Amino acid sequence: MQITVIGAGNMGSAFVKQLVRAGHQVKVTGRDFSKAQQVAAANPGAVAVATAGAADASDVVVLATGYADAVTALKAVGNLDGKTVIDITNPLTADYMGLTIGHDTSAAEEIAKAVPQARIVKGFNTVFAQVLAEGADLGNGQKVNVFLASDNAQAKDSASLVAESMGFIVVDAGRLNNARYLEPVAGLNIYLGYGAGMGTAMAPAWIHKA
Ligand SMILES: NC(=O)c1ccc[n+]([C@@H]2O[C@H](COP(=O)([O-])OP(=O)(O)OC[C@H]3O[C@@H](n4cnc5c(N)ncnc54)[C@H](OP(=O)(O)O)[C@@H]3O)[C@@H](O)[C@H]2O)c1
């Protein structure tokens, strides 16, 4: 698949690494082009591109900026008509220990309202960058779960293919408004990892009775 990653930070660079490894054609763009160039240089096969038109020719766009920058970043990458946009953002407070919105909306829904031509899929927001960078296999047969929520079935299928190509287990999390649940799950993960000192080599998962 042709995939554009917006953002060259912790999550953006980890996505580029795993997407290239999975055999996708990957473009990366950033507010600071030199950071996108560094990420591309570290992942042979990936290409750094300018923001304008960065989404052209891509099937899937990964939105890997902070929530506050998300709509501006998406609007800058060109025509998103019918494209799958994986929204990984969490609307975190400045101290990372709370969410700025929730209950009656979510980051994903607000982004979808602002960029209605895109097919938004919420996902990967519960996966620490450190986990994504290392890969989906946590050892002992444990695979990291990725929860995907969207109002567009085709877009969810595309996001599932992307997640599975990188080795993740996909959990269908229903409609986009279930991002109202997924974003707090990320908040709990951050509390456990950083607040409670459990570290970042872990991820939330849904388990079934054998
Ligand atoms: N870190 C995690 O473990 C984790 C896990 C799950 C979800 N998330 C979510 O993933 C998102 C990214 O997190 P992160 O840790 O990767 O943050 P980060 O390291 O700060 O990276 C964000 C990147 O987005 C870039 N950016 C900002 N505005 C932009 C624009 N208009 N166009 C293009 N690029 C732009 C930033 O550029 P500059 O370098 O110029 O600032 C930065 O490189 C956040 O919403 C976060 O809540 C993070």
Cα 122 to Cα 109: distance, rounded to the nearest angstrom: 9
Q: How far is the CA of 204 from the centre of ligand 1 (A)?
A: 21
Per the domain annotation, does 200 fall within a domain? no
Q: How far is the CA of 154 from the centre of ligand 1 (A)?
A: 26
Structural domain contains residue 203 = no
Domain total of the chain: 1
Question: pLDDT by residue (tens digit) across 120-143?
Answer: 999 999 999 999 999 999 999 999
CA 13 to ligand 1 center in whole angstroms: 10
Which H or E run includes 201?
none
What's the CATH code of the domain at 140?
A: 3.40.50.720
Question: Full-prediction pTM beyond 0.95?
Answer: yes
Q: Could you give the CA distance from residue 66 to residue 68 in angstroms, rounded to a whole number?
A: 5
Residue 122 pairs with which residues in a beta bridge?
87, 149
CA distance 31 to 20: 21
| Helices and strands of the chain, counted as H and E runs | 7, 10
Note whether residue 202 is domain-resident: no
Tokens of 34: 């030199």
Tell whether 206 is covered by a domain. Answer: no
CA of 10 to the centre of ligand 1 (A): 7
pLDDT tens digits along 193-209: 999 999 999 999 999 99
Best CA proximity match to 7, nearest among 99, 95, 73: 73
pLDDT at residue 22, as a whole number: 98
What angle in degrees, to the nearest 10, is found between the helix axes of 107-114 and 67-76?
30
* Residue 209 within any structural domain of the chain: no
Q: pLDDT digit string (tens) for 68-77?
A: 999 999 999 9
Alpha carbon nearest to ligand 1 atom 47, residue: 90
% the chain with pLDDT above 70:
100
Contact in structure between 16 and 48 (CB atoms under 8 Å): no
Instruction: Answer whether residue 190 is part of any domain.
Output: yes
Shortest-distance Cα residue to atom 37 of ligand 1: 31
Ligand 1 neighbours, Cβ below 6 Å, are: 6-12, 29-32, 35, 51, 64-67, 69, 72-73, 76, 88-90, 92, 125, 127-129
- Which pLDDT value is given to residue 44? 98
